[in-house]
């Protein structure tokens, strides 16, 4: 039976996969600069024997044809980029690139897809259909590497019936997976605001416009929009995370800059909120006499798990991991460029438990102490391979 075979192969490959993961972890690269990672993935695919093409500059698309390749087509996706964070973990495979760290586990995702690819290639005479392997760049940065993979044809010739992605989750114990149908993650847009005036002496505010006070008013009024114009049943969050202006006690600055992120679970509300925020900025500019530039960098769409493929993947996960190890995941305001794929074809994005307190693998993603229990790699590898051979198997 394929399931048992895959379990054995995932266990057998674990040692090599940990080596691969540690190599990637030690050599992280920022979004859209994954040149060495891209070469490494190509070398691994070449070693296995899997044909591939390079796309989206630093992305790789591998193709595995089983028997009867047109019968079903499944896409499996991994992201490869790291974050501008200085690693604080004291491990032998610590990041060698100062100030860059695989703090979102994309090294694990890439390893898992390589591991699954190796298994699928070995089993290619035992399943029907085609598996497309998407190794994408730039998940962490707008406009999202997924959008470039789609632009470059990753979802065409042939078009997959569905796409699967996973993400490590430090909130979930290793050995467990979690799924959710429908909307699972938020849209994310970045806000860049500049408030300008002539500046002036702190003792004569009447002769200029106090950009610091306008910034304070704007932040408060933007938060009011998000809390008062939105249906409370519709999750959405605005966080202004940066405020820069002035450098001494008695000079009112000519400019104050703000940056932040806006997240929503509803595309209609999302764009309405943009309008309301910009209107507020315009009104405040008129009322105060400040000049306000309000720029929204529209980012990733929501991630939607199509119910049928998600139900199928969930059932298959129950079979592979045991029902007791598969749970429903909560809605999160995080964002993922996987949302781009799931807007084009049915998608399922699930979470892989990597938490293990005894190994200090408890810290959140995007933190300098983020760590995973590497035992989860075998679970991810096996699951990706199992979904690859099993999904849509009864399709015409």
To the nearest whole angstrom, how small is the minimum distance from the Cβ of residue 227 to Zn ion?
Answer: 26
To the nearest whole angstrom, how small is the minimum distance from the Cβ of residue 77 to Zn ion?
Answer: 12
52 to 91: interface string for Zn ion, x by CB under 5 A: ----------------------------------------
To the nearest whole angstrom, how small is the minimum distance from the Cβ of residue 229 to Zn ion?
Answer: 29
φ, ψ at 10 (rounded to 5°)? -65, -40
What's the gap between Cα 133 and its chain centre? Answer: 17
Report d(CA 183, CA 185) in Å as an integer.
6
Nearer to Zn ion, 95 or 288 (CB): 95
Indicate if 374 belongs to the active site: yes
To the nearest whole angstrom, how small is the minimum distance from the Cβ of residue 44 to Zn ion?
Answer: 21
- Please report the sign of the dihedral spanned by the C-alpha atoms of residue 326, residue 328, residue 333, residue 335: positive
User: How many Å from the N-terminal Cα to the C-terminal Cα in the chain?
Assistant: 22
Among 104, 146, 256, 372, binds Zn ion (CB under 5 A): 104
Report d(CA 163, CA 104) in Å as an integer.
21
Indicate if 341 belongs to the active site: no
| 7 closest CA partner among 386, 391, 326 | 386
Looking at beta carbons, which residue is closest to Zn ion?
104
To the nearest whole angstrom, how small is the minimum distance from the Cβ of residue 15 to Zn ion?
Answer: 25
Strands 182-185, 303-305: pairing is antiparallel
122 to 161: interface string for Zn ion, x by CB under 5 A: ----------------------------------------
Report d(CA 288, CA 387) in Å as an integer.
58
Both tokens assigned to 213: 């006070």
Nearer to Zn ion, 50 or 185 (CB): 185
Cis ω for the linkage preceding 143 (within 30 of 0)? yes
Count interface residues toward Zn ion (CB under 5 A). 1
Of the candidate spans 35-43, 47-55, 100-108, 245-253, the one that interacts with Zn ion by CB under 5 A turns out to be 100-108
Nearer to Zn ion, 66 or 299 (CB): 299
State which H helix or E strand residue 339 sits in.
helix 338-344
Instruction: Give me the active site residues, please.
Output: 300, 374
- Residues at the interface with Zn ion (CB under 5 A): 104
């Amino acid at each position: 039976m394929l399931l048992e075979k895959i379990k054995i192969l995932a266990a057998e490959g674990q040692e090599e996969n940990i080596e691969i993961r540690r190599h990637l972890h030690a050599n992280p690269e920022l979004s859209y600069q994954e040149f060495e990672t891209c070469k490494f993935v190509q070398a691994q695919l070449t070693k296995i024997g899997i044909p591939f093409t390079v796309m989206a500059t630093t992305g790789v698309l591998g193709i595995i044809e089983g028997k009867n390749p047109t019968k079903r087509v499944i896409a499996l996706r991994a992201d490869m980029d790291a974050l501008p964070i200085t690693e604080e973990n004291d491990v032998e495979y610590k990041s060698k690139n100062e100030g860059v760290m695989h703090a979102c586990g994309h090294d694990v995702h890439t390893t898992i897809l390589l591991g699954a690819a190796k298994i699928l290639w070995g089993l290619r005479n035992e399943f029907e259909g085609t598996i497309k392997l998407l190794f994408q760049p730039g998940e962490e940065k707008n406009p999202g590497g997924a959008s470039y993979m789609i632009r470059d044809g990753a979802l065409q010739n042939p078009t997959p019936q569905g796409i699967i992605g996973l993400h490590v989750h430090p909130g979930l114990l290793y050995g467990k997976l979690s799924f959710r149908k429908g909307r699972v993650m938020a849209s994310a847009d970045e806000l860049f605001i500049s408030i300008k005036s002539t500046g002036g002496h702190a003792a004569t505010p009447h002769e200029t416009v106090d950009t610091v006070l306008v910034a304070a008013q704007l932040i408060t009024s933007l938060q009011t929009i998000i809390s008062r114009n939105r249906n409370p049943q519709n999750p959405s969050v605005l966080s202004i995370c940066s405020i820069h202006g002035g450098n001494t006690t008695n000079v009112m600055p000519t400019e104050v800059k703000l940056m932040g992120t806006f997240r929503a679970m509803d595309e209609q509300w999302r764009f309405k909120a943009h309008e309301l925020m910009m209107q507020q900025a315009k009104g405040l500019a008129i009322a105060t006499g400040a000049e306000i530039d309000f720029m929204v960098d529209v980012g990733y769409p929501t991630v939607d798990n199509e119910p049928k493929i998600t139900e199928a993947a969930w059932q298959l996960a129950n079979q592979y991991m045991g029902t007791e190890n598969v749970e429903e995941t909560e809605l999160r305001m995080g964002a993922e460029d996987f949302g781009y794929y799931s807007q084009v074809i049915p998608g399922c994005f699930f979470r892989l438990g990597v938490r293990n307190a005894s190994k200090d693998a408890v810290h959140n993603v995007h933190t300098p102490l983020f760590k995973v229990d590497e035992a989860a790699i075998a679970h991810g590898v096996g699951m990706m391979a199992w979904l690859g051979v099993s999904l849509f198997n009864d399709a015409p």
